[in-house]
Structure 1
Amino acid sequence: MKSIKRITTLLLAILFAAALLAGCAQSGPAEGTPPAATTSQPSASSEPSASAPAQRTVTDMAGRTVTLPAEIKKIGTFGSIGVLNAFVETMGAGDLICNEGSPSFVKSPSWTKYQYLFTPQIKDLTPFQGADSELLMENILAAKPDLCLTMDSSLTQQLEKQGLTVIQLSWTKTEDVKQCITLLGDILNKQDVAADYLKYFDDMMAKAADLTKNIKQEDKKTVVYGTPSQFAQPHLIAEWWIDKAGGISVTATARKDSTTESLTYTLEDLLKWNPQYMFVSTSSEKDAVLKDARLAGITAVKNGAIYIVPRIAHVWGNRTTEQPLTILWAINKLYPDLVPDEELAKDISYFYSHFFKYDFTDDQIKEIMGK
């Protein structure tokens, strides 16, 4: 009986020892001993990584539901190329633009001068539109843009028929710029940049309002914008930024429809308005005004108060994300005591450095401001 008890005790001791050894074998390595390298292969049913890009859907400004590719590495701009390039560049994504401008853009030194600084890669790329703005589909399909940006429904339809991803933007009302920027922030996963720009826009509007709030109505300067030598004001939005700059646009009430984009008037209209300032888009337009004897008696011409609105990413007087600078530039010309050159230079430098990631030299900024 005693021998059976000893054997039982011995067996229990062996089993207990074995259990201890098994537990040690399953524990981690001793302190200071690196673990053995391991690799794991995801199973066929594994879910995609949470950080991996995925397709998304957005609603563009034409009300279209658009499925975006997982990654956007190439952006094509169509139609209103100047406006669209400025949008992309403001978002800090100019390096994604994969097309040169149309021939009408490229032949303009004022276009290439700054576009080639902001997006140097486009200089060596093919255009997506020809001389008469028709789509060069062979070039487009060869470039394979991940995203096409337009502001024209007919272009949207043509590109969509080729299986391309198209986002249509719209800018008919002043505040549309905010919706465009917000949408692009979502599309490019740059919501922080979009929010930053919207705050900048509102801050600059508040700054302009504060600067001009004490200008009496009778002291406000009268302005004509556009191509006065041809008696045309091509962009409705100029009525807005001239007003925000504390000026009075002489064409503001001339449109029969307040939503009409372009306006033509007569020589008699211009002589009657007799603007104190002229803001024009090109040096050739300024020359044309100065050479036209019929305009010699206009106050702006007599006083040499004809200024060329800067064209950097786009023409500042037209629709562009640079418009807050347009307003400060106009105040500088109309009321130089309110915005001295030094202050305007700081605003210009900040905008392009902060959003476009491009630092202008002092000489470049002086040239942009003009005389």
Structure 2
Amino acid sequence: MKFKRIISLLLVLVMSLTILAGCSQSGEETTNLDPVEETEPLAEEVQEQEEELEDITVTDMAGREVTLPANVESIATFGSIGVINAFVELMGSGDKIANDMTHRFSNSDKWAMQYEFAPQMKGAPVLENTDGELLIEDVLALDPDLCLVMSKDYIEPLESNGLNVVYFEWKETEDVKTAVTLMGEALQKQDIAEDYLNYFDEMVAEAEALTADVGENKKTVLYGNVTQFTQPHIIAEWWISAAGGDSVTKDSWVNNKSVYTQEDILKWDPDVMIVTDVATIDEIKNDSLYSDVSAVKNDEVYYIPTVAHVWGNRTVEQPLTIFWTLHKLYPDLITEEDLAEKIECFYSHFFKTELSEGQVNSIIHTN
């Protein structure tokens, strides 16, 4: 088994040399290209280039052909704004988001980093009311080049008013690759999309190699809103497994909902709990009913990070979710320093944001 793990790690190491343009130990990006002196194009050249640009047509994940301007300058996001914004920011286009987040995202500090990735959103028009209904007059006044949605309910009311609407989804694990590819096409950032998909695969392969020898010693994990006995997204079953964990809720799904009880938690006796609400940590620790549960006894109750979006849900940050979880489960396999470097490098490379040491520490330490 040790020989198998060594071979796996060597293969991952070789493949990883191509990822993120070679992030160095200092978190800086390196490149094999010689520096080229940049010159500002003449105004006449810029105008000629813009005139030569033609509209593009993409096929969205509802099978619809959508024609878009070749150079999208403004983007409006609807519904699952945290998820959608993260896709846009991944492409380096966060500065094109033209609307603020709705109240359910902006009423707490949970999504505060969204305003660091796209500061122009603060105070911009809000395009849905507290009930999730479109404020269509405000949308039309904004007149975005591109509307991004993850619910088909938005398509008709937006499209019937002459707006360009692209629908994408993330229902199955592999949908993220289709969605990222679509986003790259819509924003003409195909190179970034390809870069990310290579990164995604390499991170998953690296985690698999690191946990190859865990075998039957996998730690059991309970993720979700534990006091409400809900697990918000089936995608968690995938990233828990990818991190070398054994999800206790994997067999509890009925009609796309995870159903379990307090008695189930006591029976499962999870080694680690990862919760979606920070207040839940104290609730669990102070509840005598859970005092003999392994995760509580061993102080292994953690709060899932939220940066661009909630790491445990559908988010392009999912590769980091895997390594954050892996570190919680098996800290001897990935050190805190290595995890911090992966976090810093990801947001620097893709989101063009340099996180402070304090921000990185707050992501890593959530118990």
TM over 0.5: yes
Measure how far apart 1:264 and its partner are. Answer: 2.5
- Note if contact 2:235-2:313 (Cα within 8 Å) is conserved in structure 1: yes
Matched ranges for 1:1-371 at <5 A: 52-111=52-111, 113-217=112-216, 219-256=217-254, 260=256, 262-371=257-366
Q: Could you say which residue in structure 2 is the equivalent of 1:18?
A: none
- TM value normalised by structure 2: 0.84
Secondary structure in structure 2 of the residue aligned to 1:232 = coil
**1:291-334 superposed Cα distances (whole Å, 9 cap, x missing partner):** 33322221111221101111000000001000000000001000
Greater relative CO, 1 or 2 (CA 8 Å, sep 6+): 2
CA distance in 1, matches of 2:285, 2:119: 36
Percent identical pairs in the alignment equals 50
Q: Could you say which residue in structure 2 is the equivalent of 1:41?
A: none
Secondary structure in structure 1 of the residue aligned to 2:137 = helix
Secondary structure in structure 2 of the residue aligned to 1:307 = strand
Larger Rg: 1
Measure how far apart 1:51 and its partner are. Answer: 6.9
Secondary structure in structure 2 of the residue aligned to 1:142 = helix
Task: Give the AA of the match of 1:102.
Answer: T
- Note if contact 1:79-1:152 (Cα within 8 Å) is conserved in structure 2: yes
CA distance in 2, matches of 1:292, 1:63: 49
- Note if contact 1:229-1:292 (Cα within 8 Å) is conserved in structure 2: no
CA distance in 2, matches of 1:266, 1:49: 62
Residues 50/83 of structure 1: CA separation in 2 closer, same or farther (3 Å cut): closer
- TM value normalised by structure 1: 0.84
CA distance in 2, matches of 1:58, 1:107: 35
Structure 2 gaps of 5+ residues are: 1-47
Structure 1 gaps of 5+ residues are: 1-47
CA distance in 2, matches of 1:301, 1:49: 62
CA distance in 1, matches of 2:140, 2:51: 30
Residues 220/140 of structure 1: CA separation in 2 closer, same or farther (3 Å cut): same
- Note if contact 2:103-2:130 (Cα within 8 Å) is conserved in structure 1: yes
> How many residue pairs end up in the alignment?
319
Residues 77/364 of structure 1: CA separation in 2 closer, same or farther (3 Å cut): same
